[in-house]
Structure 1
Amino acid sequence: MALSISQVTIYVEDQQQAVDFWTGKMGFKVTTDMPYGEDRWIEVEPPGGGARLVIYKADRDMPALATDLPNYVLFHADDIVQTHAELAAKGVEFTQEPKREPWGWSAVFKDDAGHLFHLGQR
């Protein structure tokens, strides 16, 4: 059996702010943007392809992610030091600079809505 991850959903308060962050600062491209009820169904894809992020409008039943802890989305970089420098130059805020861990390199960055994400390198 062959399985892969096709999408990961990120719940946000402001979909356009999230699109602006992921495309403008992170270099992702919008692959789907269409009406979805009163909101939009938006998918963005990383520059190298792979699993897409669904930028979903948070509501009472599906609240936005906690902003005080990193969520479970881990991004991988071939060169975390270089990637950190490039993203920081574009205005991405890092709450943890790249550091060596027993399992590899780790950093934590924040999107414009305050959600935290891991950036790793093995």
Structure 2
Amino acid sequence: MINKIGQIMLYVTNQEKAVDFWTKKVGFSIVAEENGQGMRWIEIAPSKESETSIILHDKEVIAKMSPELNLGTPSLMFTTENLDELYTNLENQSVLVGEIMEMPTGRVFNFADSEQNYFAVMEKSK
């Protein structure tokens, strides 16, 4: 039986830019990095203790290895305890952010990574 989400695959065209974006602008940490069999992948997460991580794969390499895979960007919703602070931090680093919106489940905004993939962040109470 499945009991948690372990990793999310994110296929990117430039792994170095993706690592820079997620670590320097969003504050994620590199959990692991592997390089073998003609592939390189980087595991990142909000913290080293996170149960779920994102694996940054080279889109071109994966497309050649497994042309049947859907290499589109997953629709991810992150959470934060301080939406305003995160919004300001991203905006100050020239990250494209959408406006903060009130939803029935709480306040939320979206942001784009260095490849113009969009992700959302929702505020969760402490």
Give TM-score, length-normalised by structure 2.
0.81
1:10 Cα deviation from its structure 2 partner: 0.7
1:38 is the counterpart of 2:38: yes
**Is the contact between residue 99 and residue 105 of structure 1 (CA under 8 Å) also seen in structure 2?**
yes
1:6 is the counterpart of 2:6: yes
**Is the contact between residue 34 and residue 41 of structure 1 (CA under 8 Å) also seen in structure 2?**
yes
User: Could you tell me which residue of structure 1 aligns to residue 82 of structure 2?
Assistant: 79
Specify the structure having the higher radius of gyration (Cα). Answer: 2
1:2 Cα deviation from its structure 2 partner: 7.7
d(CA) in 1 for partners of 2:27, 2:85: 15
Tell me how many residue pairs correspond in the alignment. 117
> Which amino acid in 2 is paired with 1:65?
G
CA RMSD of aligned residues (A): 2.1
Structure 1 runs, 4 residues or longer, greater than 3 Å off: none
- Compare the two structures and name the one with the higher strand fraction: 1
1:63 Cα deviation from its structure 2 partner: 5.7
The 5-angstrom pairing of residues 44-83 of structure 1 reads 44-47=44-47, 49-50=49-50, 51-59=52-60, 60=63, 61=67, 62=69, 64-65=71-72, 71-83=74-86
**Is the contact between residue 77 and residue 120 of structure 1 (CA under 8 Å) also seen in structure 2?**
yes
Give TM-score, length-normalised by structure 1.
0.83
Q: Identity percentage over the alignment?
A: 25
d(CA) in 1 for partners of 2:48, 2:89: 15
d(CA) in 2 for partners of 1:24, 1:64: 24
d(CA) in 1 for partners of 2:72, 2:87: 23
The 5-angstrom pairing of residues 15-30 of structure 1 reads 15-30=15-30
